[in-house]
Amino acid sequence: MTQQQKDELNKELCGLLGICWHEFMEKEYRCTHCDAPDYEKNPDFTSEAGRVQLLKLMSKRPDFIRFLLSTFVWLYSPDALSAHWADMFLDDNGAFAIAARDFLKAMEAKE
């Protein structure tokens, strides 16, 4: 995933989560929607720390269990059943952020 794709994904997630996205203008970050300091940076939900931040934000939602269930997939193998949730969360290419975005968009569409 390119940096531009990450920025677009992070910006979209911020909008879906009701978090301000600070645009970089005139050599500093600025937001016309909140009183955040100009130097405040945007979240990167694809980074390790960002995935934890996103998990915390998602866990505060009333539909958090539904989100978890929507990302939980059983894989049948000769040895045992296993879940890919941990693999998705540990993925450095934005798999967890994409799953959260897709879930939030689906929930928004139902409203």
Q: Is pTM, for the whole model, over 0.85? A: no
Measured in Å, how far apart are the chain's first and last C-alpha atoms?
A: 30
What is the DSSP secondary-structure string of 84-107? SHHHHHH-TTSHHHHHHHHHHHHH
- Please count the other Cβ atoms lying within 10 Å of the Cβ belonging to residue 106: 12
pLDDT at position 21: 84
Q: How far is CA 71 from the centre of its chain?
A: 13
pLDDT digits (tens, 9 = 90+) for 12-52: 999 999 988 877 666 666 666 676 655 567 899 999 999 99
pLDDT at position 31: 67
- Kindly indicate the confidence band of residue 89, based on its pLDDT and cuts at 50, 70 and 90: confident
Using the CB atoms, write b or e for 66-94: b if 16+ within 10 Å: ebeeebeeeeeeeeeeeeeeeebbebeeb
What is the DSSP code (8-state) at residue 43?
P
